[in-house]
Amino acid sequence: MGRPFVGYSHVFSFNDPAGMCPRCEGVGEAVDIDERELIDLDKSINEGAFKFSAYAPGTWYWKWYKLTRLFDADCKLRDYSKEDLDLLLYAEPQPLKNPPPDWYATAKYEGVVHRFRRTYPDGVRDTHKGQTARDLARIIHRTTCPECKGARLNQAALSCRIDGRNIDDLSRLSIADLLALAETWTMPEVAPALENLIGQLRTLIDLGLGYLQLGRTTPSLSGGEAQRIKMVRHLAVL
């Protein structure tokens, strides 16, 4: 029904690589790192410029950055040259040009922020506990994905529209409004599918769920709502 034609049903699924937003991989959220919570420019490495407990003075990571001999560990980061600060924070993994004798032969140097982003690409997870979890909650924030604006789909899927609305617009309508709209569509070539859709939307309204949106995710439903939705799915299978 949608125009332009961008593919079959799988391209409208954020779980399918063909449909998911490439930036957030279909999650609808992006990880945002507050670097001021990760790095204190007013401190030197020895004073604890790395504000993440795993990189605090005395830790393995902290020793590792000192071991590179690339930086003056007593100089406040604010006083570094731009090149040195970039190297300390953002350098991609690279071999050291003049490795000190006690440097691990195969080790690559990597900037603190770069390493942090690589280590925690998804932000805070339930598996993180204690101080690490508290640090991550302070440093990492989840924001709506700037590319898909939370729609979770790629731009091709979102470009396909029925009467000016894409699948994200439609799934944000209440079921009652969506039904009213679907009843105005006349598309003989897909009549059975449309009839089926209208029938299922009517069933949800009959169950008192007309105020819900199809885009609302299952975990946000109350127990009663989830129960009734389960019933509709069961009826649909029958």
Of the candidate spans 18-26, 127-135, 155-163, 193-201, the one that interacts with Zn ion by CB under 5 A turns out to be 18-26
**16 vs 37 by CB, closer to Zn ion:** 16
In the bound complex, what is the minimum distance in angstroms from residue 28's beta carbon to Zn ion? 6
Residues in contact with Zn ion, counted by CB under 5 A, come to a total of 6
Cα(150)–Cα(137) distance, integer angstroms: 21
Phi and psi of 92, rounded to 5°?
A: -75, 160
Measure the N-to-C terminal CA separation of the chain; round to a whole number of Å: 26
Q: Where are the beta strands (DSSP E) in the chain?
A: 29-33, 140-144
CA 114 to CA 89: how far, in whole Å? 7
Specify the stretch interacting with Zn ion by CB under 5 A; choose among 34-42, 138-146, 163-171, 211-219. 138-146
Q: Which is nearer to Zn ion, 110 or 147 (CB)?
A: 147
Which of 160, 201 has the CB closer to Zn ion? 160
Residue 108 contacts by C-beta under 8 Å, 6 or more apart in sequence? 93, 94, 95
- Residue 52 CA to chain centroid, in angstroms? 22
Binding mask 147-186 for Zn ion (x = CB under 5 A): xx--------------------------------------
Alpha carbon of 120 to those of 112, 139, 148, 155: distances in Å? 12, 11, 22, 26
Shortest distance, position 119 Cβ to Zn ion, whole Å: 22
Q: How many CA atoms lie within 13 Å of 13's alpha carbon, on the beta-carbon side?
A: 7
- Near Zn ion by CB under 5 A, which window of 66-74, 78-86, 145-153, 176-184? 145-153
Q: Does 21 bind Zn ion (CB under 5 A)?
A: yes
The nearest distance, CB 10 to Zn ion, in angstroms, is: 18
Q: What are phi and psi of 43, to 5 degrees?
A: -120, 160
Which of 38, 145, 170, 209: binder of Zn ion (CB under 5 A)?
145
Query: At its nearest, how many Å lie between Zn ion and the CB of residue 122?
Result: 14
List residues binding Zn ion (CB under 5 A).
Answer: 21, 23-24, 145, 147-148
